[in-house]
Each structure stands twice: as C-alpha cells, then as structure tokens.
C-alpha cells in the first residue's frame, strides 16, 4: 500500500490524489506540514515539499508531483490523463506547468501562505495587500480559463486530461481559502461545477483543515 | 525546421538544446529576451518564458521546457534520456525538477537577474547581498551533487539522463556568471569536466552574451 505524505490544502497533492482516484490506485494518507521542516521528511525529500509517495514493500520513493503523475500514467493503463498525439500531450503538460507554476505563484501560494501557514504555523496576521493581489490575479486566471473553455470542451482539448486535474486542484485550494470570485466566469464555473461531481474529487472536497472553514458553497456543485 | 525562441543564458533553453544535440534534431535560434515582454511573444506563450519551439510547417507550438523535453523523448528514439524502469524515470524527473525549481530559485535565477537582467535590461547595479546568498547556495547544491555522484556514475543512476542535462544547463549558466566555486567539489568537478567535452554541449559553451564575459576557465574541460 502506498503512503502519501501531504496536508489537505496542498494543491500539488490534490492533483496527484485526483489522478489516483481516476486510476483507482489505493493509498494511505500521512500528515506532513512542510513548513515545520521535520528532519525525517527532509532526509526523504531534500526539497522539503509534499507530495511524497512511499511503497515500503518495494522500497520505492516518488518525489515531485509531476514525476509522480508521470509514474502512475506509465504504470496504470486505466484512465489515461496524458493522452492523444505527442502535440496534445505537450499541450497537456504545458497547462499542468501553467497551473503548477503561474497559478501557484500568483494565487494558490499566496493564499496558502497568508491564510493557512500564518494562521496555523507562524501565528501571524495575513498580509491584506498580498491577499488582494492574489484575488485580483485569480480573476485574470479565470479569464484565461474562460478563453480556453470557449474553444475546447476540456482544458487541453476534447477529452479530460491531467490539465483539468491540475486546474481543479489549484482552484479548489484557492476556493477553500475564499480567493475565488466566480461571478462573470461562465465557462470556468460550468466546467468546475461538472468537475465537482466527479467521484475522484468529491472525497477531497469533503476534507477540512482544522481551524480554517471554507465558504458555504465550497462543496456544492450548484454554486 | 524548428524555430527555438531563447537567449544564451536561459538555463531551461540550454537543457532543451543539449537534449536536441544528443538527439540530432536541427533547429534555428530566434533571440527573445523575456523581460522585454514583447506582445507577439506573450500572445504565443502567456507565461512569457523561454524556451518556445515552433514548427511553422506543421503549426506545432511547444511551450515549457519539461513539456518540450518529453515531446522529443516521445518522438525521437535516438539517445533516450528519460530511461530505465518507471522508478528510474521518476528519479530522473525528480532531479530535473530539483534543478529547474530549487537550483534555479537558489542559484541560477538570482545570478541571471542580478548579473544579466540588471546590466542589460534594467541598467541597474546588482544587489551584492543577493549575489553572495546565491553563491553560498551554489556550494550547498554542489555538496548535494557530490553526494549523488559518490553513489552513482551519473546524476540519476548508471547512465546519462535528462537529470545530467538539466544539471549541466543550470550549472553552466551559473558558472558563466561567476557564481560557482569549484574548489573541494571533487565528484561534481570530474562530472562537469567530462560533460564539457560532449558534442551536444560544446556549441553552447562557445556562445557569448554580448556585454557579459565568462571567467577564463569557463569553456575549458581542464579547469
């Protein structure tokens, strides 16, 4: 049985967990708050980041969410999520990198640091200007998603792919932390509404980070 | 013929170019300085980053260095660089992400911003404290590389892989900008010395960014 080191509001872990759900791969959660920089965790992953997956029986350790997704894509045939031609696969990987790098830097990272880490780990007040900036950036990102979904059924083309999983992972963390204003983003909202009903995603929406409550509409597919 | 949008000291482009060299894929260079945020380039890649590859005849646009490397790994059989078992491939991708994220953030990004962008684009003086911090981080990273190469012939195992290409790409940019102190790093130095002689890497070492000179030993395999 795989062990998955994570905390509930880690967007990179959410991406991996939705993929594992789609592929029906079982795992056991191990709570890890990377900001505490626990020695045993740093020995396993010098980058100090979640997610990390460990298969103790086989002695396999998987580190880095992109490497983990590629691993399960290569080893589990069910529910291919990096699919299509080589050019399609490049577009999927571009968009995954877009959410993991640009959306993370602009939106999910500042929200997690200001609203989660400062409250639960550092015991500090959030920086209101940085939060406002993140919420403004989120609007720009939803505009881009609207643009993509105006041309395509799913984020990277005609079928669901890892790009949708990455997008839902980051957006759900930002939404939990009150960083998403859905008004006016018709395509993005319809896409996310449908995504919320997926069997792979519902268990994640049901989890709570103790001490931080999401908005009332957070779990609701009709929002 | 592929067109490759880049500037000589972009570590992500160097990684792609070494891979294309190993695989004997031809391309034409197009100069792009991302910090000028040229409209036509942003229309092509909203992330505004190099490298971008365009095949005008086929209408293919490849964006993000990891997606580009995976594309050529999938479409060109020669010189497989994400090789071995699924677990080996995960370790290669982990290390590529390590250099592209951690080494970049700690070493190559501050060096490029302080020593190249401030000189050529912003016309400002470099921040000496930030440069010192980057050079100190570089020592820690070389320690980690020494540790890896004490156990393995190449960065990710018994054979050369994309992890070595990513490492050489970032290290060469940092070395060009005078950020690497090689003393005391026996394994890392021997590995880099051998890498410098590769046919795929020598053309990159011969290039210059006008207005910035590398140290005298920069191109020399015996340094």
Q: Where are the domains of chain A?
A: 2-75, 86-200
| Cα–Cα distance for residue pair A34/A12, rounded to 1 Å | 13
Band of residue B223 on the pLDDT scale cut at 50, 70, 90: confident
Sign of the CA dihedral B69, B73, B76, B77?
Answer: positive
Mutate to test the interface with B, among A64, A137, A162, A163 (most CBs of B within 10 A): A64
Instruction: Return the percentage of chain B with pLDDT > 70, whole number.
Output: 100
Cβ count within 10 A of residue B6: 23
Q: Distance of alpha carbon B215 from its chain centroid, rounded?
A: 18
Residue B47 touches chain A, beta carbons under 8 Å: yes
Residue A31's φ and ψ, nearest 5 degrees, are: -75, 130
Q: Which residues of chain A make contact with B68, given a CB cutoff of 8 A?
A: 90
Cis-peptide, bond into residue A51, ω within 30° of zero: yes
Q: Which residues of chain B make contact with A60, given a CB cutoff of 8 A?
A: 87
The one-digit pLDDT tens for each residue of chain A (223 residues) are: 999 999 999 999 999 999 999 999 999 999 999 999 999 999 999 999 999 999 999 999 999 999 999 999 999 999 999 999 999 999 999 999 999 999 999 999 999 999 999 999 999 999 999 999 999 999 999 999 999 999 999 999 999 999 999 999 999 999 999 999 999 999 999 999 999 999 999 999 999 999 999 999 999 998 8
Sign of the CA dihedral A7, A8, A10, A12?
Answer: positive
Q: What is the predicted pLDDT for the residue at B103?
A: 98
Judge whether residue B117 has pLDDT over 90. yes
Q: What is the CATH number of domain B86-199?
A: 1.20.1050.10
Q: Which residues of chain B make contact with A63, given a CB cutoff of 8 A?
A: 90, 94
CA distance A213 to chain B (A): 31
Band of residue B222 on the pLDDT scale cut at 50, 70, 90: confident
Q: What is the CATH number of domain A2-75?
A: 3.40.30.10
Tokens 């939404």 identify what position? Answer: A175
CB spacing of A71 vs B94 below 8 angstroms: no
- Reported as a single tens digit per residue, the pLDDT across B139-197 is 999 999 999 999 999 999 999 999 999 999 999 999 999 999 999 999 999 999 999 99
Residue B146 touches chain A, beta carbons under 8 Å: no
B31 - beta bridge partners? B6
CB spacing of A64 vs B97 below 8 angstroms: yes
Q: What is the predicted pLDDT for the residue at B75?
A: 98
- Reported as a single tens digit per residue, the pLDDT across B72-91 is 999 999 999 999 999 999 99
Q: What is the CATH number of domain A86-200?
A: 1.20.1050.10
Residue B66 touches chain A, beta carbons under 8 Å: yes
Tokens of B221: 């395999």
Residue B15 touches chain A, beta carbons under 8 Å: no
- Reported as a single tens digit per residue, the pLDDT across B10-48 is 999 999 999 999 999 999 999 999 999 999 999 999 999
A162 near A74, Cβ under 8 Å?
A: no
Residue A27 touches chain B, beta carbons under 8 Å: no
Q: What is the predicted pLDDT for the residue at A222?
A: 87
| Of residues B99, B134, B98, the one with CA closest to residue B116 | B134
* From A47, A89, A97, residue closest to B98, measured CB to CB: A47
Q: What is the predicted pLDDT for the residue at B176?
A: 98
Per 3-state DSSP, chain A is made up of helix, strand and coil in percentages (nearest 5) of 55, 10, 35
| Of residues B143, B73, B194, the one with CA closest to residue A93 | B73
Per 3-state DSSP, chain B is made up of helix, strand and coil in percentages (nearest 5) of 55, 10, 35
What are the start-end ranges of the H helices in chain A? 11-22, 39-44, 65-75, 86-97, 109-111, 128-151, 162-176, 186-196, 202-206
Q: Which residues of chain B make contact with A87, given a CB cutoff of 8 A?
A: 60, 62, 71
């Amino acid at each position: 049985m795989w062990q998955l080191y994570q905390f509930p509001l880690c967007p990179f872990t959410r991406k991996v967990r939705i993929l594992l759900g789609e592929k029906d791969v079982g795992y056991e959660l191990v709570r890890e708050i990377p900001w505490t920089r626990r020695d045993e965790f740093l020995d396993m992953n010098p980058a100090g980041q979640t997610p990390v997956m460990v298969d103790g029986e086989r002695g396999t350790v998987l580190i880095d969410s992109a490497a983990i997704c590629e691993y399960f894509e290569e080893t589990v045939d069910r529910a291919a999520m990096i699919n299509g031609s080589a050019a399609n696969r490049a577009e999927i990987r571009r968009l995954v990198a877009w959410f993991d790098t640009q959306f993370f830097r602009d939106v999910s990272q500042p929200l997690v640091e200001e609203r989660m880490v400062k409250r639960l780990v550092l015991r500090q007040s959030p920086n209101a200007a940085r939060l406002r900036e993140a919420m403004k950036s989120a609007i720009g990102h939803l505009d881009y998603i609207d643009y993509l979904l105006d041309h395509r059924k799913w984020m990277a083309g005609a079928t669901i792919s890892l790009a949708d999983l990455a997008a839902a992972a980051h957006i759900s963390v930002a939404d939990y932390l009150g960083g998403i204003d859905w008004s006016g983003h018709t395509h993005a909202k319809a896409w996310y509404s449908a995504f919320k009903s997926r069997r792979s995603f519902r268990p994640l929406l049901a989890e709570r980070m103790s001490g931080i409550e999401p908005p009332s509409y957070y779990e609701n597919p009709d929002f």
